Amino acid sequence: MLDEAHDWMLENHAPPMNQSRRQFVRTALASSVAASPLFSNISSAAEEDPQVMGQGNFRYRHAKNWSLKRDESPVAVKDCHEFARTKSGSQILCTTHTANNLIEFSPDGKVIRTFGTTYPGAHGLNLSNENGEEFLWLTDTQRRIVVKLDMKGREVLTLGWPKETGKYAEEGKFCPTETAVNPVNGDIYVADGYGSNFLTHYSAKGEIKGCYQHEGFNCIHGVAYDDRDKANPQLLVTSRAANKLFSLSLDGKNLGHKHFPGAWICRPVINGENVFFAVINSGRLEWGSDFRGFIMVLDRNNEPISLVGGQAPAKDGTGEAALYRNHDPKPFLNCHDVSFDQEGNLYVAHWASNETHPFKLELVR
């Protein structure tokens, strides 16, 4: 339970919850965790502290002093979409506010700088490292472009409508949401999540190498380069409206998918052996008002092992009610992305959240 989220929802007329119901929810959550065969050896910390979210080795507590509340910050945000962590440890956030599309935070949550004023649809943010130099990859869903920026904010490369693929009848059918970059050869993958659901494959110079689409692609909102198996790197593609995670070969072949009923997963973020998702909503989607989001953590086999802001995942569960029930009151405001620091703490960006700055969640050890 996060105070900022709770306060915001009360201000916006979310129904209150009485004390007896709150205690019932806490007891039910603790019981479900303890009973799950996946978490038979879990610490009792989550039972003792209702502000601890998640299960197993992935439990977190809100760091309330990181960043600022919306009324206290001199730096304006709108939709806070995605993060990228630099090699120095700072976190760069993209927001649709054109006063500062990109905001760089120090590890202790202070704003280092802001830059970028021409990206009203700033949505996806990825970072690549080329011979020690870092670059940002930003997708803009209003301008319908992908831009590669150096760390001073200068545009190095722009990718627009991939007409040459022959897959698009008109430019308006293209609306990119995310990119991934192959760290070995620099190949670029652009997910057209808000357009026609093609994954376009480019060389490092921006030359088209392929354009892929598979049955089940429905709002392919995110893409990530997955090298957890060093001998067999793949791509992970989220099909958000279908609640599915696809695995693809680097040349676009479908290697299968995982289905997470009711979970509208934004983009896959890989940290070590695990995959993390911001799940913007679970179950019936009511954009901007439902507040049933959470963070999902997957194991090496892409199976859920922790739901941060939800109950413990159950192998024998079916559907949203068994797998993805949230805390009440809701802990997140339409969470859209996660990032990490070297200590394993999480940083959460929120879409349509009444100008709420990101949250930091401290790992409970």
Domain of 21: which CATH number?
Answer: 2.120.10.30
Domains identified in the chain, total number: 1
**pTM of structure:** 0.85
Span 178-228, pLDDT tens digits: 999 999 999 999 999 999 999 999 999 999 999 999 999 999 999 999 999
Mean pLDDT of 56-67: 91
Looking at residue 246, what is its pLDDT? 98
| Higher pLDDT pick, 11 / 183 | 183
Containing domain of residue 302, as a range? 3-363
Using only the alpha carbons of the chain, give its radius of gyration: 20
Mean pLDDT of 342-365: 91
Q: Is 8 a residue whose pLDDT tops 70? A: no
- Share the mean pLDDT of the chain: 84
